Structures are given as C-alpha cells and as structure tokens.
Chain A
Amino acid sequence: MRPVMAPSPTARRFAETPAIARRRRQERVARRLLGGGLILSLLPLFAILFYLVWQAAPLLSWRFLVESPRDGMRAGGLWPALLGTLYLVGAALAAATPVGILAAVYLNEYAQPGRFSRIVGLAVINLAGVPSIVHALFGLGAFVAFAGLGRSILAASLTLAVMSLPVIIASTTEALKSVPQSFREASWNLGATRWQTTWHIVLPNAMPGIFTGIILMVSRTAGETAPVLFTGAVFYKSIAGGDLFAYGLLDQCMALSVHLFTVSTQVPNVPDALPYAIAVVLVATVLGVNALSIALRVYLRSRKNW
C-alpha cells in the first residue's frame, strides 16, 4: 500500500513553504530587534565619553591635574579634589575589604546553613539597595557626631565603607560559592580544619571573584557625592599642588564628585569646559582603578587551573 503523504517524484521536497518563509522573516526581525537593543545601550555610553572629552579638551593638561584651583575655582587645576577622592576611596577600601571578606567567609564557610544565614544573606542584599543619601545621614550621625570624628576624611571614608560593605559581602559570597564543593570535601577528608580549608583551598580560588567585588566598590564609591558631602568633603581647600601627602586622616578634603557639583551649580561664570574636565578626570580615575584591578584579576585567573 502506498503511504498517504508520499511525495510525488517531481515535488521539490526541500523547497521553502510559506510557513517556513514566515518563520525566517520572524527570525530576521528578532535579530534586528535584539541587535538594536544592544546598539541603543552602547550608544549613550560612547556618546557620553566622547562628549565629555570633546567639551573638556581645551582644559585637559598635566597642569590641570596637579595644580590647585585659582580665581574662586574658575581657573587652575583640581589637585585637591583628585587627591581627596583617592584618599577617600583608598581609606574606604582599606576599611571595607577586610571586614567584608571576613563576614562573607563566615557566612559561607562557617555558618550552619539554615534560617539565620538565609535571613542575614537577604538582609545584606537589601542593604546594598539603601540609597546613598541615607548612608550619608547615618555617617553624619554615627561617625561625625557620635564617634566624634568630626567632618573628616576618616568619617567620610568610613561612611563610604559602610555603604560598600553589602556589595563586597555579596560578591565575595558569590566568589566563594563558585569554588567547587569537592575541593572542600577533599580537604576535610584529609583532616583539615575549616580554617585550613578556607585559607589554603577556598580563598586562593575565590580571589578573582573577590576582586570583581572590589572593582565594583571602587567604581561606586569614587562617584558618590552625598555621603562625602555630609561627612567630610568641603567646597574648597587649599593644599600644595602635586603634594601626595597633603591631607591627614582627620582633615577635611575636596572630592571630585563634590567639586563637580560645586563648580556646575554654585560658582557663577566658570569656563564652559571646566565641569567637563572635572568629569573626565573622575571617569578616568575610576576607569584607571578598574583597569588595574582587572589586570590583577586576569593574572590571578590565569594561574587558576580548573
């Protein structure tokens, strides 16, 4: 008996039917839509960078970086602000990184999995979403007033550190989770303690991921305005241009983000290029630190062998 749907010998069995043609058109539309989304998201990024540098071009020079502002901040450079930002981010990093890593290691390697550690984990993630202005207010109350640090680099960087702790804890936890459980089992079965396992096996393999968290933190803190404005940054402070050790931890300081805000909104008759030049320096600082951390991360990853 002949099969019902047997093709006639002359039919082109692999020709495109109308239904297939419709699906092919669908595919083309989908591809263009998705690609369009990508272009739409990349375009503003490059537009911003290009526009900033274009506008800032007349002012960008080595001297702009290492001189102090002059003429009521309408001329000169931004050294005090650049140095202030470096101090703030550096001190915040120094405070938040060890504490955050310790907390994450405890949560992931020591705490019994259960309701308590789930609640703590959830709290950490939610803390990361608290607006920075709230952290600013907390820093003002806790560090400036209560701890008696006054408005200072120390108070401001501690505020930044508190703000970035959840980010560091969350990303470190992710990094620790990415280390295969079988490594821990192997180590425990040889009679290693939790600490030996953590120190010799888990942490070395989690390092690249931990660095990612720190990169995120640097990017976020360097641009923060409100927390440092409340707790230690000032509109203007005169220090020697190019001097790396011009600030003490209990001094007030200038910061790039606050400087940009001030120059753009509080000072009349500034040259058009000035705010853009400050923005370029801010972006370059963040990208520079990121590049450094990424290089370190790539190096650490290259030594990883699983």
Chain B
Amino acid sequence: MNCIEVDGLSLWYGGFQALRNVSVCIRERQITALIGPSGCGKSTLLRTFNRISERDPAVRVEGSIRIHGEEIFGPEVSLIALRKSVGMVFQRPNPLPISIFENVAFGLRIHEVDTAVEAAVEEALTAVGLWEDLRFRLHAPATELALEQQQRLCIARLLPLKPEIILLDEPCSALDAKATLAIEELLGRLAAQYSIVIVTHSMAQARRVSSECFFMLLGEVVEHGPTEQLFTNPRDPRTGDYIAGRFG
C-alpha cells in the first residue's frame, strides 16, 4: 500500500523552481531512497512531506500530497498533528540541549500524550539500540554523546509519538563508515514497523538500504523502481550516467 502519494507537485523558492511537477508514490513499511546530484530537489521534496519547507516564507507550493489518503495541504490540516506522525532526522545530529531522557520524552511532553513516560523512553531507546549503553546515564546531557549515538537518539526521539513515516535527510553524512553501517542496520530493522524515506548522496548507501529508489535531476523525478533494477538496468540514459559516476 502507498503511504505517500505526490501528485503534480511544484515548489518555488522565490523565483527559482526547485520541484517541477513531481508525481510519485511511496510504499509503506519499506525504505525508499531519493538520490540525485546536489541541487536536484531531493531534500526539498523530502521536506515538503511534513511541510517543514514552509518555514521559509519565500516558498510557494502547488500540487497535492496525500499521506495515507489524506491531503496534507488541506485547509483543516494541523501542522502540529502532521509533524507528529511524519518525523524528520537531519544531516547533522541535532539533539536538544537537555538530558538524554528529556530528549526522548520531549515529544510526549509537548503533545501532552497521556502515557507512561519512563516506559516509552525505555521502549524507544531499546528500539534504536541505545538502552543497554545509556540506561544508567539517562540524565546526562545528550550533547555529550558520540555522533552516532546522537543520531540514534534523534531517531529514538520520534518513536514515542508513534509516527507513521520517518524522513531522513542524509542521516549518515556526518558519520564515519562504521557508524554509517550501524545506522543503516537500524533503519533496516525499523522498516518492519515504519515507512522510511531517506535522502542520500551516496549511491552505495541507497543500494544497500532501500527497496525502492527515486532518481531526481533538476527538480524532476527521472526514474523510479525497485532499487536493484534501477541500479542494474536503468531505463533512462541519465540514470545510467549518474549511477556510473559520469556526472554528479
């Protein structure tokens, strides 16, 4: 089943058109990768899925995005509710400058979710593989963690809110090779429960983690398909050139 359906989406930063009539369907409970050279619009597309791109007043959007069938540009859509179910992880780990525990509990607190906070924090930290390492220092500042742990924490922070979709914007670009593999392994496990969309500049990473892959160029989706097929047998010559490393 599709979790995100994008239809005729165009986006402008002031006079510059960053997305051109994009129409894609993203399937649920798997990892979908958006690849393409810098400036192709892959991060922009990702950032419209929870409408965080609209923080910039110069941004103008046309078209439609439906998440589980529901239009997110509709007049009665609450951005707060939308972002609660569509969470995002950034390029640089950005834990909040509070304790590890409070980082994970933050979402529950701001949404006033009536649930056992301790249990939810333990569950989230267990899911990202941090619980065993951190259970005795939950009240240490989150900013003291190693980068990989910080990025795991940023993922864990989303989980107590029971999101449907997790968006990741080049989540490993600040990490070393070993940490990258560890995060990828984590994403693989989370894909059983959550729909995951990842933007990456690394074709190797897209190939390792994703089931489906979208190749973007100059604000358009050039090609999409099952990852193996897109990498071994691209239909569009531009996809082939990019994958072969002839540009980008």
Residues of A at the B interface (CB closer than 8 Å) are 112-114, 180, 182-183, 185-193, 196, 200-201, 205, 304-306
Given contacts A186-B94, A186-B154, A306-B97, contact A191 B107 (CB under 8 A): yes
With an 8 A cutoff between CB atoms, is B152 at the interface? no
19 contacts between A and B (CB under 8 A): A185-B90, A187-B106, A189-B52, A189-B83, A189-B88, A190-B87, A190-B106, A190-B107, A191-B81, A191-B82, A191-B161, A193-B80, A193-B110, A200-B109, A201-B97, A205-B97, A305-B97, A305-B141, A305-B144
Which B residues, 42 to 92, have Cβ-Cβ distances below 8 Å to chain A?
50, 52, 55, 57, 79-84, 87-88, 90, 92
State whether A190 touches B110 (Cβ < 8 A): yes
Chain B residue at minimal CB-CB distance from A199: B110
- A183 and B52 alpha carbons, distance in the complex (Å): 14
Nearest CB on B from A228, distance (A)? 41
Q: Which of A185, A192, A205, A305 contacts B110 (CB 8 A)?
A: A192
- A189 and B106 alpha carbons, distance in the complex (Å): 11
State whether A113 touches B96 (Cβ < 8 A): no
With an 8 A cutoff between CB atoms, is B224 at the interface? no
- A304 and B50 alpha carbons, distance in the complex (Å): 30
A residues near B92, Cβ cutoff 8 Å: 182
Chain B residue at minimal CB-CB distance from A182: B94
Nearest CB on A from B108, distance (A)? 10
Chain B residue at minimal CB-CB distance from A114: B57
4 nearest CB pairs, A to B? A305-B141, A191-B83, A182-B94, A191-B84
B residues near A186, Cβ cutoff 8 Å: 90, 94-96, 154, 157
Nearest CB on A from B168, distance (A)? 12
State whether A190 touches B154 (Cβ < 8 A): no
State whether B96 touches A183 (Cβ < 8 A): yes
| Residue of B80, B87, B90, B96 with most partner-chain A CB within 10 A | B96
With an 8 A cutoff between CB atoms, is B211 at the interface? no
- A147 and B161 alpha carbons, distance in the complex (Å): 52
Given contacts A114-B57, A190-B158, A306-B143, contact A183 B94 (CB under 8 A): yes
Chain B residue at minimal CB-CB distance from A305: B141
Chain A residue at minimal CB-CB distance from B109: A200
Chain A residue at minimal CB-CB distance from B78: A191
Number of interface residues of B (CB under 8 A): 30
Given contacts A183-B94, A186-B154, A191-B81, contact A196 B144 (CB under 8 A): no
Which B residues, 140 to 172, have Cβ-Cβ distances below 8 Å to chain A?
141, 143-144, 154, 157-158, 161
Chain B residue at minimal CB-CB distance from A179: B97
- A190 and B163 alpha carbons, distance in the complex (Å): 10
State whether A190 touches B83 (Cβ < 8 A): yes
Nearest CB on A from B150, distance (A)? 11
Chain B residue at minimal CB-CB distance from A113: B57
- A41 and B106 alpha carbons, distance in the complex (Å): 49
State whether B52 touches A188 (Cβ < 8 A): yes
State whether A190 touches B143 (Cβ < 8 A): no
State whether A188 touches B83 (Cβ < 8 A): yes
B residues near A305, Cβ cutoff 8 Å: 97, 141, 143-144
With an 8 A cutoff between CB atoms, is B189 at the interface? no
Chain B residue at minimal CB-CB distance from A197: B110
State whether A189 touches B87 (Cβ < 8 A): yes
A residues near B81, Cβ cutoff 8 Å: 191
State whether A188 touches B97 (Cβ < 8 A): no
Nearest CB on A from B184, distance (A)? 21
Given contacts A185-B52, A191-B111, contact A201 B96 (CB under 8 A): yes
- A237 and B81 alpha carbons, distance in the complex (Å): 62
Nearest CB on B from A287, distance (A)? 32
Nearest CB on A from B173, distance (A)? 14
B residues near A190, Cβ cutoff 8 Å: 83-84, 87, 106-107, 110, 157-158, 161
Per-position binary interface string of chain B over residues 119-155, scored 1 when its CB falls under 8 Å from any chain A CB and 0 otherwise: 0000000000000000000000101100000000010
B residues near A114, Cβ cutoff 8 Å: 57
- A185 and B52 alpha carbons, distance in the complex (Å): 9
State whether A196 touches B110 (Cβ < 8 A): yes
Given contacts A112-B57, A191-B161, A192-B110, 11 further A-B contacts (CB under 8 A): A185-B94, A186-B90, A186-B94, A186-B95, A187-B106, A188-B52, A188-B55, A191-B110, A192-B106, A193-B80, A305-B144
A residues near B82, Cβ cutoff 8 Å: 191
- A190 and B95 alpha carbons, distance in the complex (Å): 12
- A277 and B64 alpha carbons, distance in the complex (Å): 75
- A114 and B161 alpha carbons, distance in the complex (Å): 34
A residues near B110, Cβ cutoff 8 Å: 187, 190-193, 196, 200
- A193 and B143 alpha carbons, distance in the complex (Å): 23
B residues near A180, Cβ cutoff 8 Å: 94
- A192 and B84 alpha carbons, distance in the complex (Å): 9
Chain A residue at minimal CB-CB distance from B89: A189
- A114 and B14 alpha carbons, distance in the complex (Å): 13
